[in-house]
Amino acid sequence: MDINTKLLKKNAFRVTKKRGMTASRVRVPGGHLEAIYLPLLQNIAETYGNGTVHITSRQGFEIPGIAFENMPQVNELLQPIIEGLDINQQVPGKGYSAAGTRNVVACIGNRVCPYACYDTTGFAQRIEKAIFPNDLHFKIALTGCPNDCAKVRMHDFGIMGMTEPQYNIDRCVNCGACVKVCKKKSVGALQEVNYKVKRNADKCIGCGECVLACPTRAWTRGKQKLYRFTLFGRTGKKNPRLGEDFIKWVDEDSIIKIILNTYDYVDSYIDPAAPGGKEHIGYIVDRTGFEEFLTWAMKDVQLPEIAEVYTPIYWKGVKY
């Protein structure tokens, strides 16, 4: 049997512990899909796999127990899913293109969750369209609010929904609900002053708890969708660490631009000898210095006025 394992990986299959057998990895950007695709997955698993499906930690499906020789048939069966999920594909009918950049993960977002400040899946799909296919090892995750259910701080790029609370003083009856909830569930950015509420904008993390708690709509959500953008968290062997705040109150366009700029930066600075062409971005930044990264990342980026850039940034984490 002659199999090019390098090409196989780029086609979203993997080498498994069982010789001659592979597994098909089906990415679902933003983790939300129409149920009509589930029978197709079932069909692949039952026809070419071992009849089981694994739900991956990055919101995909992995169908194990597929013989290498059946990969072309599997790719054909995957085609309606790839098209339905609007995956960028190089050659139609030939399966997923490239697997370096990982699936863009999202919490359930505001299609369902009351806390979410935006449609996480929608934004994830927008990022998918902008960055795929790509061989570089990038991990991106989106979460609807600062609860961070999607654990975005463990990703190279973490996107956390925020809402800039708007206060209509004439609708406030000083019931205290927002002050209490902000103190107990969030950061305590609200304070009663003169029977009305004062918000400490520096402290506010834009979680929207005040809006949810307000019984009179004195607090409502800001019109613009804004985000907290975190950088270079990672899991893994050498130095696992949480992503640090990069920009608070940043907009969608800037986030996408910065991610694309980072691809250019990594392209220029990645260790050519990196095993499998994979190197966590953070280690590259350690090499070049943060300022160099910043120069690349912010190229042609027009941040909204409200945005706050945190610099310099220091990471912690466990070092082995």
When the beta carbons of 91 and 193 are compared against another protein, the nearer one is 193
Residue range at the interface with another protein (CB under 8 A); choices 67-75, 173-181, 239-247, 280-288: 173-181
Classify strands 166-167 and 157-162 as parallel, antiparallel or unpaired. Answer: unpaired
Binding of another protein at residue 52 (CB under 8 A)? Answer: no
Binding of another protein at residue 174 (CB under 8 A)? Answer: yes
3-state helix vs strand vs coil in the chain, percent to 5: 35, 20, 45
Q: Which of 213, 259, 284, 294 binds another protein (CB under 8 A)?
A: 213
Q: Which of 212, 260, 306, 313 binds another protein (CB under 8 A)?
A: 212
Binding of another protein at residue 160 (CB under 8 A)? Answer: no
Q: Which of 22, 103, 110, 121 binds another protein (CB under 8 A)?
A: 110
Which alpha helices (DSSP H) does the chain contain, by range?
A: 5-10, 38-47, 71-84, 120-131, 177-185, 209-213, 252-269, 281-288, 290-297
Binding of another protein at residue 106 (CB under 8 A)? Answer: no
When the beta carbons of 50 and 220 are compared against another protein, the nearer one is 220
Rounded least distance, CB 234 to another protein, Å:
29
Q: Are 20 and 1 in contact (CB under 8 A)?
A: yes
Residue range at the interface with another protein (CB under 8 A); choices 124-132, 163-171, 236-244, 304-312: 163-171
Binding of another protein at residue 207 (CB under 8 A)? Answer: no
Rounded least distance, CB 175 to another protein, Å:
5
When the beta carbons of 97 and 163 are compared against another protein, the nearer one is 163
Report the alpha-carbon distance of residue 270 to residue 230 in Å, rounded.
Answer: 21
Q: Is the dihedral of CA 249, 252, 257, 263 positive or negative?
A: positive
Q: Is the dihedral of CA 115, 117, 118, 121 positive or negative?
A: negative
Q: Is the dihedral of CA 91, 93, 98, 103 positive or negative?
A: positive
Binding of another protein at residue 173 (CB under 8 A)? Answer: yes
When the beta carbons of 110 and 230 are compared against another protein, the nearer one is 110
Report the alpha-carbon distance of residue 214 to residue 174 in Å, rounded.
Answer: 10
Q: Are 216 and 296 in contact (CB under 8 A)?
A: no
SS (H, E, C) 137-176: CCCEEEECCCCCCCCHHHCCEEEEEECCCEECHHHCCCCC
Site for another protein in 21-50 (CB under 8 A): none
Binding of another protein at residue 255 (CB under 8 A)? Answer: no
186-193: long-range contacts, CB 8 A cutoff, minimum separation 24: 186/146
Site string for another protein, 115-154 (x = CB under 8 A): -xxxx-----------------------------------
Q: Are 35 and 57 in contact (CB under 8 A)?
A: no
Binding of another protein at residue 314 (CB under 8 A)? Answer: no
Total residues interacting with another protein, rule: CB under 8 A: 32
Q: Which of 52, 216, 235, 302 binds another protein (CB under 8 A)?
A: 216
**Which residues of this protein are in contact with another protein, per CB under 8 A?**
110, 114, 116-119, 161, 163, 169-177, 194-196, 208, 211-218, 220-221, 223
